Chains A and B, each alone.
Chain A
Amino acid sequence: MKRRLIPFFLLAALLLPLLASCHGSRDSRAFELPETFDLTRRYEITFWAKNDTNKTQADIYEKAIADFEALYPEIRVVLRSYTDYGQIFNDVITNLATGTTPNVCITYPDHIATYLTGENTVVPLDLLMEDGRCGLGGSELRFSSPKKEEIVGKFLGECAFAGHTYALPFMRSTEACYINKTYVEKLGYTLPETLTWDFVWEVSEAAMQKDGEGNYLVNGQKVMIPFIYKSTDNMTITWLAQKDAPYSTSSGEIGIFSSETEAFLREVFAHAATGAFSTFKISSYPANFLNAGQCIFAVDSTAGSTWMGSDAPLVDIDRERIVPFETAVMTVPQLDPENPKMISQGPSLCLFGKKDPQEVLASWLFMQYLLTNGVQIAYSETEGYLPVTETALADPAYQDYLARAGEDNALHYPVKIAAVRLLRENIGRTFVTPVFNGSASLRDAAGQLVENVVKSARRRETADDAYFKKLYRDVAALKKLDRIGKPIGGDLGPLPKASVVFLSLLGAVWIGIAAVFLSGKLREKRRKNKKSIEK
């Protein structure tokens, strides 16, 4: 018997090292800062960037690359443009498996948290930033890079989690409420100093009155959705932050499925049921309704401000449909006007680890170049973005740009500059949500709750206690929130009861079949023994 086991032990001994070598076989060396940057070599690095369907932004990236390559002829930068952060995220995930990630990548901290589930994927920037020669404001750089303390502290802090700084901020925006002030006043209201949820709901309901022919009194049209929120995940997150209600902890404990969230969703349901509220996913771009005089409160990013207002330089509807009105730009609705809170968002930059630390260093130089005043100011002017460095914010060229608001409806479009000023004046009132593996899914879930509730209201469903229990269960399952915080490919958790019953049943059937087979064999053996004894 023991001799029979020897081949199994040998096989196991042979297979185990193979299995061990398969796990994490990718090159996983952590980045080590080289002593010097080797400029005798040539480098080709890739930069995956996002432009907001905006040719000027793409042109600014191209110019930044050309200017950088002129300073560093040893480094060639290959740009890959995207129009969607989600697509960048998907492509990075795909390329992590094959080790073909970009060198520099536009990103969001939530995405980095997912990338970090691989080993040494995103390079921690702590050492690079501090390096006296090639770090921020380093002595050996061929351009004037901002020092660490010259990056807006709040924005840089958003890129730090799990004990390291994993990104540099590139641009920042927040959300703003773009308001048809003309209609607010036509309805007999005056805009308060700080916009509140109560005010927005009240005016929105007042705008739902129709004449005998079904036209809304406020605009004389058949269509009016007074309040449209573009990003429903931000809507939920912002309301919860203003309420000091649970969302999640930094370690990934989820608090969103709470009574506070339910109270918020019940309010959303009530106003969606009257038609006073809708979302981008259900109705379309808030700007299109606002500009057509079919919406009064349109909440969208400050980075979408060039689409907002009857003189907007960018439009997505027939110009004939645009209705003239006065546009007011205010902070998103607040629960406590004395203590306003709004989200901080916008693209950041991260570096991916490579076998060659010199290549990482070359990428780091380019990444820093994107924070120089020329790039920062040019890019921020394309939309309602705020530069992320104090040097760019204080630059006379930038100050001049802000001061010329309203001179034209292109570069100095007043709504855009008002949106930028709104963020500039409220940096200290912005917040971000905790970053952990799965925080992107939780964010999706926050939006899904609102989307489902609005759909249900429109379908005349009943929003009772059972409805919210089911809603929470469905959204948690859809977004796989039970797996949050666990490593990708980790333990899948216990089997559902139905699966346990089914598998037990199958097991019992196989045991039964085996028992019948063995008993048949035994009977046959006994018969043979009996026959041989009889013989």
Chain B
Amino acid sequence: MKKFCILVLAFVLAMSAMSACAKTEDAAMTYAQFEAAALQSKVTVETYVQAKQGWWEDNGVGVASFYTQNEDGAYFLYNMPCSKEDYDKLVPGTKIRVNGVKSMWPEVNGEIEITEATYKIDTSKTWTASAKDVTSLLGTDALIKEMNKFVSFKGMTVEAYNDKGDAFNYKWDGSGKQGDDLYFKVSVGGKTYTFTVESYLCGKDTDVYKAVEALKVGDKIDMEGFLYWYEGANPHITSVAAAK
């Protein structure tokens, strides 16, 4: 009887193991291969979490968006389904293997992202990116090559966001309140750009949120953040400090 029990247990375990191994994994792409892949095609990348937006439930399914990067490129994972438990594990530096679909939203001049993503956590290695100074690339066609990367901007000047002379707005049109996205304008070399503190990434209690609320027109500042794209560069800023 004991032998029978052992056989049954072994059978159950074997069946579970077989089902887990049934799917062979696709090879991970290089960033160049990802760049060359057509929109709406399936992609597989190995990348490291650099930051994450808030976790929420979409129709009962937990999802969150992640800013990820590896040594040769960066990937924004849009609304990737994940449990709250896994979300807590996906801290900056965590290596993940991601399968999904290469997408762009808006479809013209928009953010390249991976949608319908699934992931597998790889605990073998961790890595975090250093911010790359892209100040000199602002306003050039070369900037788009840095999309989604962790970047920095040095020595920029805060400009008035609106006709009233405010240094920032809650929401793009000023219709928001504290806790909403912050929009502000900064200039360098005579050209002005709109930057954002994305509230799902850096909420009202974060240092960067408070720092932007304290900005005054004319301030000279250095910034770090992720090079998000919406109708052109629209960096999601994660730190602001007085220019060195």
Contact = CB atoms under 8 A, between A and B. Distances in A.
Given A54-B173, A58-B175, A479-B59, A516 B1 contact: yes
A288 interface: yes
Given A508-B8, A512-B5, A516-B2, A53 B59 contact: no
B139 interface: no
Contacts of A486: none
Contacts of B12: 505-506, 509
Nearest to A53: B175
Contacts of A53: 171-173, 175
Contacts of B171: 53, 83
Contact of B174 (A55, A57, A317, A516): A55
Interface string B3-32: 011001100100000000000000000000
A462 interface: no
B136 interface: no
Interface in B50-105: 59-60, 105
Contact of A455 (B40, B107, B173, B231): B40
B45 to A, nearest CB: 19
Interface stretch (A8-16, A198-206, A278-286): A278-286
B106 A54 contact: no
B108 A223 contact: yes
A519 B1 contact: yes
Interface residues of A, number: 40
Contacts of A285: 106
Interface in B150-178: 171-177
Contacts, number: 71
A56 to B, nearest CB: 8
Contacts of A223: 107-108
Say which size band chain B's interface belongs to: 20 to 34
A444 B172 CA distance: 28
A283 B107 contact: yes
Contacts of B107: 223, 225, 278, 282-284
Interface in A277-331: 278, 282-285, 288-289, 292, 294, 314, 316-318
Interface of A: 51, 53-55, 57-58, 81, 83, 223, 225, 278, 282-285, 288-289, 292, 294, 314, 316-318, 441, 444, 455, 458-459, 478-480, 505-506, 508-509, 512-513, 515-516, 519
Pairs of residues from A and B, 9 with the lowest C-beta to C-beta distance, nearest first = A284-B106, A55-B175, A283-B107, A516-B1, A512-B5, A458-B40, A459-B40, A223-B108, A53-B175
Given A53-B171, A455-B40, 6 more contacts: A283-B106, A284-B107, A292-B108, A314-B173, A444-B59, A459-B40
26 contacts: A51-B175, A53-B171, A53-B173, A55-B174, A55-B175, A57-B175, A83-B175, A83-B176, A225-B107, A283-B106, A283-B107, A288-B106, A289-B108, A292-B108, A294-B108, A316-B231, A441-B59, A444-B59, A478-B59, A505-B8, A508-B8, A509-B9, A512-B5, A516-B1, A516-B5, A519-B1
